[in-house]
């Protein structure tokens, strides 16, 4: 049977790069495909911080709707933008081999990092803001929204010293500056650097195709990170970082939740044998909750509800 797999994607340069990568892999395996670019609410509402929109999934919802209405067969997402709970009927079909997970600082001269002078750093992410303020308490963090290209332009236009990006995103669209600073101390977002392909649960044809693109280690690491996130957050947006790395038949996990101002944190570093990794994300989250994370999450919920 020959069928054309319709690939849904956002229309930013990064999203198109990611969807085209999936398309090329499927075509190489002999599948016929077509790209269906769609605008998301996250790309349209640019004047408010993400967390103030008060909804999760603003980057993915338009594609979910298109899939549920039968306009696309599969959708390609940056996995970190996908809510931990998928809509009913839509399921994970493949996690591609993950790229570099870290964040980088793009700047206009980095000497300010060695001085005590105040500086302004831009990011729209609560997680990046909290970790930056924790390390540089005298800096000011301003909100920065938009796709990667828009954010780079805003950095040039504004009087800020730097802005924070996922290295993977900048590399994919060949916009990583040579002097960008690699933030190896900043714990990334759960599933940062991973691409997720979803499909309708009932769509056997797409699942058979996508199973060939799945990378089991990336699938496991992102599952642990997202289980950690899901167990901690309970639907609220919070500064949460998580990274699971698989090496020598073991999983090494680091996870953290910060207060919004970055002053307080609850964290965990733990390893487990690969053969015992089932449920590890929840286990780590429960430990964090018991070690001050619960109190922090309650504070964040209160501050968030005061915002809305």
Ligand X SMILES: NCc1[nH]cc(CCC(=O)O)c1CC(=O)O
Looking at beta carbons only, is 23 or 218 nearer to ligand X? 218
Which residue in 166, 229, 238, 266 binds ligand X (CB under 6 A)?
166
Interface with ligand X, residue 192, by CB under 6 A: yes
Interface with ligand X, residue 165, by CB under 6 A: yes
Give me the helices (H) in the chain, please. 13-28, 41-44, 61-68, 126-135, 148-157, 167-172, 204-211, 216-233, 280-288, 294-307
Spatial separation of the C-alpha atoms in residues 191 and 79, rounded to whole Å: 6
Please, what is the minimum distance in Å from the beta carbon of residue 179 to ligand X?
Answer: 17
Please, what is the minimum distance in Å from the beta carbon of residue 32 to ligand X?
Answer: 27
SS3 of residue 59 by DSSP: coil
Using CA atoms, how far residue 252 sits from 95, 173, 196, 243, 302, in Å, is 19, 30, 22, 8, 32
Looking at beta carbons only, is 217 or 282 nearer to ligand X? 217
Supply angle C-alpha 208, 211, 216, rounded to 5. Answer: 160
Catalytic (active site) residue 159: no
Question: Which residue in the list 64, 81, 103, 203 is annotated as catalytic?
Answer: 81
Give, for 72, the enclosing helix (H) or strand (E).
Answer: none
Spatial separation of the C-alpha atoms in residues 12 and 9, rounded to whole Å: 9
Of the CA atoms within 13 Å of residue 107, those in its CB half-sphere come to: 17
* Strand partners of residue 175: none
Interface with ligand X, residue 169, by CB under 6 A: yes
| Binding-site string for ligand X from residue 116 to residue 155, where x marks contact by CB under 6 A and - marks none | --------------------------------x-------
Q: Which stretch binds ligand X (CB under 6 A): 3-11, 73-81, 176-184, 224-232?
A: 73-81
Please, what is the minimum distance in Å from the beta carbon of residue 206 to ligand X?
Answer: 22
Q: Which stretch binds ligand X (CB under 6 A): 83-91, 138-146, 165-173, 270-278?
A: 165-173
**By the criterion CB under 6 A, which residues form the site for ligand X?**
78, 80-81, 148, 165-166, 168-169, 192-193
Residues with a catalytic annotation lie at: 81
């Amino acid at each position: 049977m020959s069928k054309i797999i319709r690939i849904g994607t956002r229309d930013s340069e990064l999203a198109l790069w990611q969807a085209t990568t999936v398309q090329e892999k499927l075509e190489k395996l002999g599948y016929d495909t077509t790209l269906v670019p769609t605008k998301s609410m996250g790309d349209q509402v640019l004047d408010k911080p993400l967390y103030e929109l008060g909804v999760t999934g603003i980057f993915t919802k338009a594609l979910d709707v298109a899939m549920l209405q039968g306009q696309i067969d599969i959708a390609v997402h940056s996995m970190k933008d996908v809510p931990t709970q998928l809509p009913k009927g839509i399921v994970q079909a493949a996690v591609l081999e993950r790229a570099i997970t870290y964040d980088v600082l793009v700047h206009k001269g980095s000497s300010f990092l060695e001085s005590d002078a105040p500086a302004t750093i831009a990011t729209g992410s609560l997680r990046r803001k909290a970790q930056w303020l924790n390390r540089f308490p005298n800096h000011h963090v301003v909100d920065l929204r938009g796709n990667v290209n828009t954010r780079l332009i805003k950095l040039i236009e504004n009087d800020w010293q730097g802005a924070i990006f996922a290295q993977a995103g900048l590399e994919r669209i060949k916009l990583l500056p040579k002097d960008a600073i690699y933030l190896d101390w900043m714990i990334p977002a759960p599933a940062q650097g991973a691409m997720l392909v979803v499909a309708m649960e009932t769509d056997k044809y797409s699942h058979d195709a996508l199973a060939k693109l799945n990378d089991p280690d990336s699938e496991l690491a992102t599952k642990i990170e997202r289980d950690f996130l899901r167990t901690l957050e309970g639907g609220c947006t919070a500064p949460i970082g998580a990274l699971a790395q698989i090496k020598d038949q073991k999983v090494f996990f680091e996870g953290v939740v910060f207060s919004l101002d970055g002053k307080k944190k609850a964290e965990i570093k733990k390893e487990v044998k690969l053969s015992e990794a089932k449920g590890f994300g929840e286990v780590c989250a429960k430990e964090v909750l018991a070690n001050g994370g619960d109190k922090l999450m309650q504070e964040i919920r209160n501050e968030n509800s005061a915002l809305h």
